[in-house]
Amino acid sequence: MFLTEIHIQCMLVERYADKLEQAAKHWIKLERGEDFDGQAAPIEILAWCTVCLSAMAAIRRLVVPGTTSDAQTDRRRRGLKSLLGDPELPCLSSALVRNSWEHLDERLDKILPSLTQGSLSHIYVSATPPKPDTIALKRFDPVNLVIHFVTDAVPLRACIEEVKNLRQRIDEAMVRLQTENIDVWGA
């Protein structure tokens, strides 16, 4: 069941990262004065980024130990990660950007009192980085395929590679489960 759920979350990352790659091409062409007929509105891009971040968080909750004080959950995470061959998941394990998107109010509590000049952008999608005096809260960088919150960033290409590796390991683990009895809580 856990492997299937990880697989589903991996598919969500891949599907919506692909949509973001297509949107990135559109926004890069748009910057050059091309592709005016393309469709990739900033609100759609924001939604796709949110799906990717949410799926990455679900993967993190399923396989990254040490993120909770619940001993049984932590044992299961270690067991699943071991079953998957202990993959390195630095991008999928990062919660900075996702936490900032989810807890925007808390981040604004820190940002707004110190904002004395410049501007603030809630959603920023452009092939050109924001001006130095602009704080871009939720930003998608189509050139580098990166999801940002202010200065924190999640590189999608690296996440996609981790997901591809994870999916291959899931397939291998499923084969093992056909012949082995594995107790992920006993890890």
**Domain residue limits, the chain:** 2-186
Q: Which residues, at least 6 apart from 155, have a Cβ–Cβ distance to it below 8 Å?
A: 91, 144, 145, 146
Contact in structure between 40 and 52 (CB atoms under 8 Å): no
pLDDT tier at 31, thresholds 50, 70, 90: confident
**What mean pLDDT, rounded, does the chain reach?**
89
pLDDT tier at 3, thresholds 50, 70, 90: very high
Which runs of E-coded beta strand occur in 7-133? 119-125
pLDDT tier at 48, thresholds 50, 70, 90: very high
Cβ count near 36 (within 10 Å): 8
Provide the CA 12 distance to its chain's centre, in angstroms.
Answer: 10
Contact in structure between 87 and 166 (CB atoms under 8 Å): yes
Please give the pLDDT value at position 36: 66
**Which tops the pLDDT comparison, 181 or 75?**
75
